[in-house]
């Protein structure tokens, strides 16, 4: 299997982790306030105690699995973009690896938060809530609460793809829109909306990019 094909499947994998995340975000986790600025921390603590395995699975899929697939995609896209924009391709690879590292770190922090919250929460819910809030803030800082690194990377990859249409028109257009959405998470007033735009846009972009990587590169 070629690197481009590996990259395509990795891109589809990234889309799948986002779909998994959104599906549970708007169903199972919605009553806890995930995805908004009003998280019910006591409810999260109790849920972590009762459903530790689910929370660990959730964090592992949306962060760790996503980060590993993302790393493969970054390398594959570097190889594709190097055909027309070698210098810019190197920059995108560096930024992509940084983003994958941040996502991986966020996942590890999230799992540690879940494990310790579940252990402490059974006997001291208040202490567990305080601990979870601290570790959750670290998780959000690494990448769970803003999409700056991802927005810059996706946007820059799409700009690089303009030359020679390395990724195709659809992937490029979606990437530019998604990149802007990621950068807009810098603005607190529209952070939630911008995050949704980035997340939904990223799903479409990952799929379109995977399809593009299955096609022979031009030039």
Over the chain, what HEC string results? CCHHHHHHHHHHHHHHHHHHHHHHHCCCCHHHCCCCCCCCHHHHHHHHHHCHHHHHHHHHHHHHHHHHHHHHHHHHHHHHHCCCCHHHHHHHHHHHHHHHHHHHHHHHHHHHHHHHHHHHHCCCHHHHHHHHHHHHHHHHHHHHCCCHHHHHHHHHHHHHHCHHHCCCHHHHHHHHHHHHHHHHCCCHHHHHHHHHHHHHHHHHHHHHHHHHHCCCCCC
d(CA 29, CA 21): 10
Single pTM value for the model: 0.92
- CA-based angle 77:82:15, to the nearest 5? 10
Q: Measuring CA to CA, how many Å separate 197 from each of 63, 177, 183, 203, 205?
A: 18, 8, 11, 10, 12
In terms of Cα–Cα distance, which of 173, 196, 184 is closest to 151?
184
Cβ atoms of 141 and 148 closer than 8 Å: no
| pLDDT score recorded for residue 198 | 92
Cβ atoms of 155 and 175 closer than 8 Å: yes
**Dihedral of CA 124/126/132/135: which sign?**
negative
Cβ atoms of 49 and 122 closer than 8 Å: yes
Average pLDDT over residues 173-201: 90
| pLDDT score recorded for residue 98 | 95
pLDDT tens digits, 134-184:
999 999 888 766 789 999 999 999 999 988 778 889 999 999 999 999 999
Query: What confidence tier does 37 reach under pLDDT thresholds 50, 70, 90?
Result: low
Q: What are phi and psi of 53, to 5 degrees?
A: -60, -40
Q: Measuring CA to CA, how many Å separate 192 from each of 1, 20, 37, 149?
A: 39, 19, 8, 17
pLDDT tens digits, 56-95:
999 999 999 999 999 999 999 999 999 889 999 999 999 9
Return the percentage of the chain with pLDDT > 70, whole number.
95
In terms of Cα–Cα distance, which of 162, 142, 150 is closest to 198?
150
């Amino acid at each position: 299997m070629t690197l481009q094909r590996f990259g395509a499947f990795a891109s589809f994998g990234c889309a799948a982790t986002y779909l998994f995340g959104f599906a549970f975000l708007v169903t199972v986790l919605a009553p806890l306030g995930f995805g908004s600025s009003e998280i019910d921390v006591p409810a999260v603590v109790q849920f972590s105690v009762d459903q530790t395995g689910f929370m660990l699975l959730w964090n592992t899929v949306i962060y760790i699995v996503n980060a590993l697939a993302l790393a493969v995609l970054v390398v594959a896209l570097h190889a594709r973009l190097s055909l027309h924009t070698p210098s810019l391709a190197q920059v995108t690879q560096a930024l992509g690896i940084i983003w994958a590292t941040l996502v991986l770190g966020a996942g590890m922090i999230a799992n540690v938060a879940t494990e310790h919250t579940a252990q402490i929460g059974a006997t001291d819910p208040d202490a567990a809530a305080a601990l979870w809030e601290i570790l959750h803030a670290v998780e959000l800082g690494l990448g769970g609460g803003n999409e700056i690194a991802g927005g810059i990377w996706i946007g820059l990859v799409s700009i690089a793809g303009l030359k020679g249409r390395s990724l195709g028109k659809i992937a490029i257009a979606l990437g530019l829109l998604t990149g802007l959405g990621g950068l807009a998470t810098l603005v607190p007033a529209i952070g939630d909306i911008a995050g949704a735009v980035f997340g939904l846009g990223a799903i479409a972009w990952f799929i379109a990019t995977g399809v593009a990587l299955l096609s022979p590169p031009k030039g």
